[in-house]
Chains A and B, each alone.
Chain A
Amino acid sequence: MKYLADVVTLSLDSGKCVGCGLCTEVCPHGVFAVADKKAFITDKDACMECGACMLNCAPGAITVHKGVGCAAAIIKSLIYGGEPSCDCAGDNDTKSCC
């Protein structure tokens, strides 16, 4: 299953990539592959923008606008402001949602 086409903010700078392959390990949707010591994006639409690859890319070759793909969280942020978040972490007293 895939979500909307051509909206994903993921990008990879091959120049900075050192081919460590960690992005292929952390991605839950198999978006990356490595060939000739360089990572490349195989299926951009499969990306869910969780940000695992960006956080674990030591040379900083990967950028993505990380966030929660959750309508309730985004609606809440539209009403109350702030970054969309499901408040899963319980850092306030609101009910967690996931």
Chain B
Amino acid sequence: MKLKLIEKPPAGNIGKPVQLCACGSIASSGRPVVIPKWAIGTYETVIGPVLSVSTALSRLDIWEHFKCRTTSFRNHYTVQPGLYAVGSPDNNSDVLVSANYKYSFDCLRSEISGMNVWLLVLDTKGINVWCAAGKGTFGTAELIRRIGSVKLNSVIAHKRVIVPQLGAPGICAYQVTKATGFRVLFGPIAAKDLRSYIDAGYKASMAMRTMPFTCTDRLVLTPMEINPAMKKYPWFALVVLVFFGLHPSGILFKEAVLGGMPFLLMGLLAVMSGALLTPLLLPLFPFRSFALKGWITGLAMVAAATFFIPGFRTPDTLLSAVTWLFFPAASSYLALQFTGSTTFTGMTGVNKELRISIPLSMTVCAVTVVLLALYKINHWGSP
């Protein structure tokens, strides 16, 4: 097996269709495929050429990762499932299993520079290892199928594959062994620990096996909490403006903006409180319910804004009641959404929270509607 570097200049080959082995890496259908920019060449194996992967991330990769963290770009960010080479692996080299979400793939390859290993990428429909394992696409059946389709037993002489620990909710190790003869070793959670794991004789320390959730971990997740909330914000703004602008004579623009402004600002504060502040402050609350954490943060935000910023203040008692009632509840609802991004919330717990939180939220919404209707009746009654 040897590495065949792509002829210089790289642009001569990269980005253009080439024919690769029909059974190995990427062209299982035999169709010509485009060599991606993160490949440094092809690598000859007993089953034909596979792509040799660079372990350095390009500026483009990093820019794409940023887009994954902030937009729906991540919904279509994939690599072709199959076998890849890193360094100059031989038939005794380790096989690292990963998902075909390009971000996951990039995290893995960027942590294994200087190593000679095979990468076996499963078809997880472009989803990361942990989420895909939860759903079962990073799963026993797919691993068994992929070991067969890349003819792994011809490429390597040993009988072990290293699966990331977070793949375990989808991979039943003993069933893989039963079906393929390959032993599944659950590697560390983070790719950065792979080297020490392998050097220690495939042993991971307790720290490598437990999932952290640091402030930075939480911070990078918040854009994808704020974004969906802000997509709904224009609808909220529209309702607020129409409500305040609505008069028996029609919709008055000045009234809409002047009357609506405190609510529009409060809406933004509620998003920041539920989708940014609560996730960041998560461990500081003395209680565990996300709904409660979000509510308290929302309440604090409303209090701070009302007392210190005149633009947030509303002279009307009914509107003031709505402010104190609705916006902390909105913050609480948004904070609950963050349960889907955490590393430690379970379904039974979230169910319990929702059983209490949903009826409360509905009540708050109903009372809000009644208070707003009363305000409007009062307002129209007194010209």
Contact = CB atoms under 8 A, between A and B. Distances in A.
B340 A28 contact: no
B30 interface: no
Contact of B354 (A30, A49, A65, A71): A71
Interface stretch (B49-57, B87-95, B146-154, B165-173): B165-173
A19 interface: no
A2 B348 contact: no
B354 A28 contact: no
Contacts of A52: 133, 168-169
A56 B351 CA distance: 25
Given A68-B347, A88-B132, A89-B132, A30 B209 contact: yes
A97 B228 CA distance: 10
A89 B135 contact: yes
Contacts of A29: 210-211, 344
User: Which size class do B's interface residues fall under?
Assistant: 35 or more
B339 interface: yes
Interface in B325-344: 336-337, 339-344
A51 B290 CA distance: 22
Contacts, number: 162
Contact of A58 (B75, B137, B174): B174
A28 B137 contact: no
Give the most central of A46, A84, A97: most B CB within 10 Å.
A97
Given A3-B288, A28-B209, A95-B72, A69 B342 contact: yes
Nearest to B186: A25
A70 interface: yes
B168 A69 contact: no
Interface in A48-95: 48-52, 55-56, 58, 65-75, 78, 84-86, 88-91, 95
A35 interface: no
Interface string B130-141: 011111110000
Contacts of A28: 165-166, 189, 209-211, 343
A9 B128 CA distance: 26
A24 B168 CA distance: 12
B121 to A, nearest CB: 16
Interface string B106-126: 000000000000000000111
A73 B289 contact: no
B378 interface: no
Contact of B125 (A69, A91, A97): A91
Contacts of A91: 125, 137
Contact of A65 (B169, B211, B337, B348): B348
Given A74-B354, A89-B127, A98 B341 contact: yes
B135 A48 contact: no
A7 B289 CA distance: 12
Contact of B344 (A9, A46, A73, A90): A46
Contacts of B349: 3-4, 7-8, 69
9 contacts: A1-B282, A25-B168, A26-B186, A50-B133, A52-B169, A65-B347, A70-B339, A70-B350, A75-B354
Interface of A: 1-5, 7-9, 22, 24-30, 46-52, 55-56, 58, 65-75, 78, 84-86, 88-91, 95-98
Given A28-B343, A86-B340, A95-B72, 17 more contacts: A1-B342, A4-B349, A8-B346, A8-B349, A25-B165, A25-B168, A28-B165, A28-B189, A49-B348, A56-B171, A65-B348, A69-B344, A71-B290, A71-B337, A71-B350, A88-B135, A90-B126
